[in-house]
Amino acid sequence: MAEDKAWALISEVGGDGYVAEVVDIMKQHFHIICLEDFLRNPALHGPKIQVLFMWNYCPAAEPSLLKSLPSLKVVANGGVGVDHLDVPLINSFGVKVANTPGVVSDATADIAMALLLASARKVVEGHMVSVDPKTTHIPQSLMGVEVTGSTLGIVGMGDIGYKIAQRSKGFNMRILYHNRNRRSVEEEQAVGATYCKNMDDLLKESDFVVLVVNLTPETTGLVGRRELSIMKPTATLVNVSRGLVVDQDALVEALQSGTIRAAALDVTHPEPLPRDHPLLRLPNALILPHVGTNTFTTTKKMVERMVENAVAAVKGLHVPNEVKLY
C-alpha cells in the first residue's frame, strides 16, 4: 500500500521548516523528500513529485523548480496569504494552488490582541525592568494606556478581523471597522461593530488600529504618511497582515515624531529586518518575527488542511481551498 503513495517535496524538518510531529501527518499519505535531498539529484526525483508543500515561503515555486517537476499537480501553501506566489504562472504549468483559510484565524486574532495589550501596558518594558539586576524601584515610564473602553478600528473584517472584534468585545471596546464589503447587520450587532465606509473616519477616531488585510496591489502601502498623520497622537498601530501594507519609512517618522504613540507589528518587510533598521531601535515599536500562527494546534490544523488539498489534487478531485484569482 505504501508504494501507492504519491511523492511530495517539502522544505526541511526542523530549522525553518516543519516540526517533526506534523511531518508524520504528511507521511500518512505521501512519500516525503526534503529540498536538500531533491537538489542533489533533481533529474531522478523531479518526475515523480506530484505535490509541493510550501511552508514559510519554501520551497519557492520559481519557474526553474516548476520546470523540473513535470508531474506536479498542486502547490499546497501553509497559510492564507498567497502574495508570495505567482498564481497565474503556476497555473500555466497546469498546477493548482491551494491555501489554508480559516484554520489560522484564531491564532492570528490572539496574536493581534497580544500585541495590542503588550504595547498598551508596556509588558516587554515591564519585564526588562523586573529582570534588570539594577532595578530598585518601578519607574513612572511604565505607565500604560487603558484598553478597556477604548476605540478599536479594524481594517479588514474577514474571518480574522471578525475574531479580533469578538475578543475586543470582552474588553468593552468600541469597535469600528472598514472593509470592502459591509458585514450583515446581525454580524455587526453580535460584536457591537460600526461600519466605516471611509477608512479615514476610522483612523481619526481609533485608539488602536489593527490591520488585517490581504496583500494586494490595492493594499500595498495602504497606510502611509497621510494615513498616519490623521491618526490620534495617542493611537497605536497594530499590523498582523503583511509588512508591505504599511509604508515603513513613514512609520519610522511617525513614531520618532510622536505622530502616533506606538506600533506593534507581527509583520515587517523584509522578514527579518536588517539588523541596522531604524524600527529596531525605537522604544515605541514592538516587533515579533511573524509568529501569528505559531502554535502547535494551529500548525497541525494547517498541515492537515494542506494534506487534504494535496490528496484531492492528486486524485483529480475538487480541491477544497484552491486559490483562483478571478
The residues facing 209 across adjacent strands are: 153, 237
Kindly name the residue from 183, 242, 261, 305 that is annotated as catalytic.
242
Kindly name the residue from 178, 183, 290, 305 that is annotated as catalytic.
290
CA dist 96 and 143 (Å) reads 52
Q: 290 catalytic, yes or no? A: yes
Residues ≥6 apart with Cβ < 8 Å to 298: 103, 104, 106, 107
Q: 36 catalytic, yes or no? A: no
Cα–chain-centroid distance for residue 204? 25
The vertex-244 CA angle with 243 and 250, nearest 5°, equals 95
CA dist 6 and 293 (Å) reads 28
Q: 242 catalytic, yes or no? A: yes
Task: Give the three-class secondary structure for 98.
Answer: strand
CA dist 279 and 252 (Å) reads 6
CA dist 216 and 1 (Å) reads 43
Contact between residue 150 and residue 295 where contact means Cβ atoms under 8 Å apart = no
Kindly name the residue from 271, 304, 308, 322 that is annotated as catalytic.
271
Q: Please identify every residue annotated as catalytic.
A: 242, 271, 290
